[in-house]
Amino acid sequence: MKPAAVVAALALLSGCATVPGGTPERADRVPLPFTGAGLERVIGQNAAALTRLLGEPNADVREGTARKLQFQSRICVLDTYLYPKGSGEPRVTYVDARQPDGSAIDRASCVAALTRRDGGR
């Protein structure tokens, strides 16, 4: 057999190796970094723009001049926090997201999932 063929065969077989001692240990969850990337469609929007983008909110909570609009799907729950600046209309200044079971999910991925839903929650 040619040396290159031997190396290729060994590389293929190495994928079949078993883990000593049985099954591998489960890895700990890695915390997701929180960045603003991918949130441009939501941050800075007012309630009317959010409703056009994401549909009717599942919850609308008001406290003083602040407002929280919550949007849900089978994939995630998105909380958008709207605050006024001066005498202006409240706009989204912060966004939080989670999976329906409470697990972490990337905020931009949640926004993308909610914009793709077909009217159903």
Domains and CATH numbers, the chain: 36-121 (3.30.1450)
Residue 121 is predicted with a pLDDT of: 43
Q: What is the pLDDT along the chain (121 residues), one digit of tens a residue?
A: 566 555 555 555 555 555 556 555 666 665 555 555 679 999 999 999 999 999 999 999 999 999 999 999 999 999 999 999 999 999 999 999 999 999 999 999 999 999 987 543 4
CA 20 to chain centre: 36
Distances (CA, A) of 27 to 18, 24, 34, 99: 17, 9, 21, 20
Tokens of 10: 């060994």
pTM for the full predicted model: 0.68
The upper half-sphere exposure of residue 12, i.e. CA atoms within 13 Å in the direction of its Cβ, equals 6
